[in-house]
Amino acid sequence: MDNIVLEYRDPLFGLIILVSLVFIVSFTTYYYGIYKERLARKDYRKLSRRFELGKLKEDDYVHLYKTYNLPFDSILLLASSFLHKGDYTKAINVYLTLLEHVTDRVKKEELLELLGITYFKSGFLQRSKELFLRILKFSPRNKEALTYLLIIYEKLKDFEKAKEVATCLEELNKNMQKDKIYLDSLIIINDPISSYEKKTNLLYETYKEHKIIERIFVQFLLQFNKTFFWEHVEDFKTKNIIDLMWYLNFDDIDFDKVYKNDYLVQIYNAKGYIDNLKHSDDFVFDILILLNKHEHKINATLNFEFICSSCKQVHPIYDTRCPHCHDILSFNVRHNLAKGLTQDNQSLQ
């Protein structure tokens, strides 16, 4: 017994115990570290495999953000891949999940903005509107939010509210002249009480000052006041509205006025409604006029496309606001020769 106590008290023995303990602890820590790293790597590999396959789940983004400390911008960039693929629901879910974990005010605003834009793109206008209004509550000078809000009000046909937003943007030094003229015209057209005559006069006054509303005005006239249109046809540049002229029903055309308008004579000779012209300066019209005179009927027609003067994108359908760059009344019409649909073709389809 004495012997053991003596041995235990031996300073050398104590030192050996201490060294062994240190060794055991560091050994365990080292291997535990390796084990943990291996687990994390496995987890990460699983994650990256899913990412390669484009199967990243909403929670994975939070995981990437919180566990792997991936920068916030990179997470947003990854999530934007859903937007490019048109999978808006997935993008919305990612943003919503991230929103629960993000505390920073700027990041939160950025997420709300992205969420609003995605809702807008997927057609949830009310939800999108609510989000932008929420952003504007704590950030009233957010131009992006205001711009979207204006377009949303416009799409929801709340033109008065859209004009209020336009005024806000004007106060932030954005040029809103075109938007305001356009919205004023829409307010006139959509007034439920005033008569077509009154609307015509108001629009005509606006048109004299601002030619940019030409197409909206003509569309209104062709629908509600054709008499006025033909009486004032010389006030319009028919070249800018060639598609509207081309698709007019034969019975809606005032040919007495047509004969006085050089460009309309060319259009309706090309269309085959009248036949008093041998040639046209316009190459496409010229071909159509020649084809109309041909004894074997060759079916050809015009088709139209619209080029945005701001972003130069080409669109098959006219829109008052460019879906690509959101500029207003920026479309110019261009006409091309196209194969016409024959009776046989139609019955085959």
325 makes contact with Zn ion (CB under 5 A): yes
Residue 77's alpha-carbon distances to 72, 80, 82, 128, 250, in angstroms, are 9, 5, 10, 21, 54
Of 172, 119, 171, nearest to 148 by C-alpha is 119
Of 151, 116, 150, 152, nearest to 135 by C-alpha is 116
Stretch touching Zn ion by CB under 5 A, among 34-42, 104-112, 294-302, 309-317:
309-317
Q: Give the SS3 label for residue 305.
A: strand
Residue of 139, 240, 310, 320 that binds Zn ion (CB under 5 A): 310
Cβ closest to Zn ion, residue 60 vs residue 154? 154
Cβ closest to Zn ion, residue 172 vs residue 325? 325
The nearest distance, CB 269 to Zn ion, in angstroms, is 33
Helices assigned H by DSSP within 156-237: 159-171, 177-189, 196-209, 214-224, 226-231
Cβ closest to Zn ion, residue 39 vs residue 311? 311
Stretch touching Zn ion by CB under 5 A, among 115-123, 209-217, 228-236, 314-322:
314-322
CB proximity list for 47: less than 8 A, separation 6 or greater: 56, 60, 63, 64
The nearest distance, CB 178 to Zn ion, in angstroms, is 13
Q: How many residues make contact with Zn ion (CB under 5 A)?
A: 6
The nearest distance, CB 329 to Zn ion, in angstroms, is 11
Amino acid (1-letter code) at residue 319: D
Q: 147 and 155 in contact (C-beta within 8 Å)?
A: no
Let me know if 225 is exposed, middle or buried by CB neighbors in 10 A (0-12, 13-18, 19+): middle
Stretch touching Zn ion by CB under 5 A, among 90-98, 283-291, 299-307, 315-323:
315-323
322 makes contact with Zn ion (CB under 5 A): yes
Residue of 311, 314, 338, 341 that binds Zn ion (CB under 5 A): 311
257 makes contact with Zn ion (CB under 5 A): no
324 makes contact with Zn ion (CB under 5 A): yes
Residue 88's alpha-carbon distances to 116, 152, 185, 284, in angstroms, are 11, 18, 34, 42
308 makes contact with Zn ion (CB under 5 A): yes
- Interacting residues with Zn ion (CB under 5 A): 308, 310-311, 322, 324-325
